Amino acid sequence: MVGPLLIRLRDLGLLVTGLENVSPLMSRAVIEAFIRLHEKGLIYQGSYMVNWSPKLQTAVSDLEVEYSEEPGTLYYIKYRVAGGSRSDFLTIATTRPETLFGDVAIAVHPQDERYSKYVGKMAIVPMTYGRHVPIISDKYVDKDFGTGVLKISPGHDHNDYVLARKLGLPILNVMNKDGTLNEVAGLYCGLDRFEARKKLWSDLEETDLAVKKEPHSLRVPRSQRGGEVIEPLVSKQWFVTMQPLAEKALLAVEKGELTIIPERYGKIYNHWLTNIKDRCIRRPLWWGHRIPVWYIVGKDCEEEYIVARSAEEALRKARDKYGKDVEVYQDPDVLDTWFSSALWPFSTLGWPDELAEDFKRFYPTTMLETGHDILFFWVARMVMMGIEFTGTVPFSYVYLHGLIRDSQGHKMSKTLGNVIDPLDTIKEYGTDALRFTLALGTAGQDLNLSTERLTANKAFTNKLWNAGKFVLQVLPNRDNVSGWQNIEACKFNMEGYLLRLPLPECWVVSKLHMLIDAVTESYNKFFFGDVGREIYDFFWGDFADWYIEASKARLYHSGDDSVVLVAQTVLLYVFGNILKLLHPFMPFVTEELWQALPNRREALIIASWPQSSLPRSTDLVKRFENLQALTRAIRNARAEYSVEPAKRITASIVGSEEVIQYISEEKEVLALLSKLDLDNIHFADSPPEDAKQSVHLIASEGLEAYLPLADMVDISAEVQRLTKRLSKMQTEYEGLKARLNSPKFIEKAPNDVVRGVQEKAAEAEEKINLTKNRLAFLKSTVMLSCSAHSTFRGLCSFLLLEAYYTQSSALITSPERNWLGQIRRLEQSIN
């Protein structure tokens, strides 16, 4: 199994070494740990009530038991008082009548006057051929539950077991390990516990000992692994005394030697260790580390045993103690898997040989990353064993991630059929997309894994790949030695003289340096989800969407080799650092792109981490953000007025002298990003003469733009389009208002549905007003265009506007169409 598992781990981009959990190295460590704990008195053999799984045929820990509220039955049964009349009986209420064969006493509350006369007498256990048990009093009894009479079955109830040990009562077991009743149950021997319950109740009814039964909600314990109902069972087991180990593990957190992330799990860790119980470590399985205990052949008493590191040592010890003729046999059971797993941080490194090279080099480690669901099963136990056997905590930090659930938030299970196989996911989306999706989760919080998330991050991977292809395309080839020498020299100057770079280059380098600091800080705080989002936003939102596009003005339109060199250098510098920052998340695509970059001499995985606190200019970042705001405003205006994508338009940029200076210096970038006519971009400190016939844009404080409307759209066509759109919106709005004005709808529809219609109506009304305003603006623009030399042309446009604005063209009569056609022809002749 190790081989296929390692292949899967490596497919996920993990660099791990293979080590079998059951190997000579591990076995030596497990045996040594058992013997040391036994010698200190921390491992002992004893009879104890355990959670027994009849299906798995093993004891399971409290942490492996899940409780669920389920419908059940409360059975009322008569217990006759010995020596009394037929009317002298006590009625007990129980949810498990089949355990009455294990009753050792009947208890009532000392202050319950109903039953005080029976205390000290004997009761007859039903269906047991007259077996007598004492009637006692104890404050443990809840006199308000059922009838206030409690049957004590210490072999099959945790609370009864504790009470019986306190009172010195015997322990009687009526259950076999497979969940059937044993010979103590008499005629019911061999029946399954649930079948025995049915038959027993039927027999009680026939003998007039059944009073009644009624529905009752039960808190049912079920095995986390098998799902079957757990049976409390007293058996001979091996246990670890946990309290002294837990105290040291608690102290490690209090002293700051161990930090649990997120912090809230530290409180859960403390609560569990404070209330810890001794742990059963014996499992009747065929596979695992056998318990290093040997018993004497021919002796039934398991109290006489030998603990040894080998069979030879056990035999020698036994003969020294019991005589030369004795033989020994090893305990057939194995240790709980968590016993060996608790030793993992140091047993894998050569312990108990603390001079082993791996142990000296790697123990203790810095951080353990694992799921929050095994904080108790594994993490706390590793801490306890690490401190016990090495004197130090095995790691300084524990980072707990959430569980991976399906898109609906359900836990993945074969029963639900919602299990996502990582290998299938990798085939469809790629390892890097899967890793990035998982890493974006928040510490301790479960992650709903959906195809939408995976698809989005696959697109991110593709975007990274395409950006890499672009960078490689514009860089000098590997054989161009002088070109690479120039880039290296330019890179040196760039890092030393940031402010000398052009605005877009200074902006993207400054943003990169800010990102490096933010990412490094988030990594140090283990905010891995924040790291991923920060890199994602910078790469896609800043580098790919803005700088790559801006660089094209340098690379393809400048005609200046020095300008091209700066753009090449910045592209390489920024993209290379992005790969470094992303590598822990996406190792495959980043390494592939890194190796493709010319002049790379080392693998990315061993490359140095980007340096922190590099220079940046917040003032120049703000300047480029103004350029971005201007570009967005022009792009939005183009979209609103449906300007053809390929059309280059005129623009007047207005601002202060300082703003105009740095914006005008990037005229080529602005023209490229906003699709402006490079020869018709005008810069001024006041609005242009045709401002009222232009779309006015406020990009930011002190920076505005005016886009002549006539240069953007065919006004007549735009009027027609908006008029049709307005008519459709008004129809939809009237339909929504009609629903809201209907008393039946308001009374019968759910509140969320009514709210939804109200929101749609408000949104529709807002869109109608915006469309009306735009039509009014078009109308005023046409009126203002009626200058002295084009009065008739403007009048024709105005008449057309009025016709379309007043009514839909579909409603214009035939004579009106002729009239409008004549106006169009007159207008065209003037044009």
Q: 622-635, pLDDT tens digit by residue?
A: 999 999 999 999 99
CA distance to 479, 539, 618, per residue, from 518 (Å): 37, 14, 15
Check residue 539 and report its DSSP letter: I
Taking alpha carbons only, the member of 627, 639, 374 closest to residue 506 is 627
Q: Does 711 score more than 90 pLDDT?
A: no
> Residue 714 above 90 pLDDT?
no
Half-sphere exposure of 363 (CA within 13 A, CB side): 28
Q: Count CA atoms within 13 Å of residue 410 on its CB side.
A: 10
Cβ-based neighbour number of residue 169 at 10 Å: 19
Residues in the chain: 831
pLDDT for the residue 725 = 85
Q: Which two tokens stand for residue 565?
A: 């060199």
Q: Give the three-state DSSP class for 472.
A: helix
pLDDT digits (tens, 9 = 90+) for 209-250: 999 999 999 999 998 878 899 999 988 889 999 999 999 999
Check the CA dihedral 508-513-518-520 and report its sign.
Answer: positive
Residue 491: what pLDDT?
63
DSSP state of 192: B
Stronger pLDDT, 150 or 286, i.e. the higher one: 150
Q: What is the mean pLDDT of residues 366-370?
A: 92
pLDDT band with cut points at 50, 70 and 90 for residue 782: low
pLDDT band at 489 (very low <50, low <70, confident <90, very high): low
Distance CA 490, CA 497 (A): 10
| Dist. CA 362–CA 394, nearest whole Å | 10
Q: Same CATH fold, 454-604 and 21-42+242-291+331-401?
A: no
Q: Which of 322, 345, 244 is nearest to 37 (CA)?
A: 244
Query: Could you tell me what percentage of the chain is helix, strand and coil, using 3-state DSSP and rounding each to the nearest 5?
Result: 50, 20, 30
540 falls in which pLDDT band (50, 70, 90)?
A: very high
Q: What percent of the chain has pLDDT over 90?
A: 56
CB 401 within 8 A of CB 444: yes
Query: Has residue 816 got a pLDDT over 50?
Result: no
**Is CATH 3.40.50.720 what the domain over 52-234 is classified as, yes or no?**
no
Question: Do 404 and 449 touch, CB atoms closer than 8 A?
Answer: yes
Lowest mean pLDDT among 531-540, 745-754, 795-804: 795-804
Q: pLDDT-based confidence at 494, cuts 50/70/90?
A: low
**Between 517 and 744, the higher pLDDT residue:** 517
pLDDT at 349: 92
Contact 365, 240 (CB under 8 A): no
Q: Would the pLDDT of 298 be above 90?
A: no
Angle formed by the axes of helices 451-474 and 548-557, to 10°? Answer: 20
pLDDT, tens digit (0-9, with 9 covering 90-100), for 185-203: 999 999 999 999 999 999 9
What pLDDT sits at residue 495?
58
Task: Give the C-alpha separation, 93 to 146, whole Å.
Answer: 5
66-98 confidence digits (pLDDT tens): 999 999 999 999 999 999 888 899 999 999 999
Q: Over the chain, what is the mean pLDDT?
A: 87
Residue 60 · residue 232 · CB < 8 Å? no
Q: Provide the pLDDT confidence category of residue 411 given band limits of 50, 70 and 90.
A: confident
Return the closest-CA partner of residue 51 out of 38, 62, 40. Answer: 62
H or E element at residue 467: helix 451-474
Q: Distance between CA atoms of 289 and 293, rounded to whole angstroms?
A: 12
Q: Tell me the average pLDDT across 546-574.
A: 90
Residue 336: CB atoms within 10 Å: 25
Q: What percent of the chain has pLDDT over 70?
A: 89
- CA–CA dist 327, 319 (Å, integer): 8
Task: Output 776 or 158, whichever has higher pLDDT.
Answer: 158
| pLDDT reading at 831 higher than 50 | no
Q: Give the bridge partners for 91, in sequence order.
A: 78
Q: Answer left, alpha or beta for residue 733, where phi above 0 means left and psi between -120 and 50 means alpha.
A: alpha
CB 428 within 8 A of CB 422: no
Fold of 454-604: Isoleucyl-tRNA Synthetase; Domain 1 (1.10.730)
Q: Which residue has the higher pLDDT, 602 or 114?
A: 114
Q: What pLDDT sits at residue 793?
A: 46
Instruction: Report the greatest alpha carbon distance in the chain.
Output: 131
pLDDT on residue 574: 93
Whether the pLDDT of residue 24 is over 60: the answer is yes
What is the DSSP secondary-structure string of 214-278? Answer: EEEEEEEEEETTT-SBPEEEEEEEEEE--HHHHHHHHHHHHTTSSEEESTHHHHHHHHHHHT---
Q: In the CATH hierarchy, which fold is given to the domain comprising 21-42+242-291+331-401?
A: Rossmann fold (3.40.50)
Best CA proximity match to 435, nearest among 398, 397, 404, 468: 404
What pLDDT is stored for residue 339 in this prediction? 93
Domain boundaries, the chain: 21-42+242-291+331-401, 52-234, 454-604, 621-712, 717-830
Q: Which residue has better confidence, 775 or 434?
A: 434
Beta bridge partners of 175: 181
pLDDT(332) > 80: yes
- The whole-number pLDDT of residue 779 equals 64
Query: How would you classify the pairing of strands 105-108 and 132-137?
Result: parallel
Q: Report whether 379 contacts 398 (CB < 8 A).
A: yes
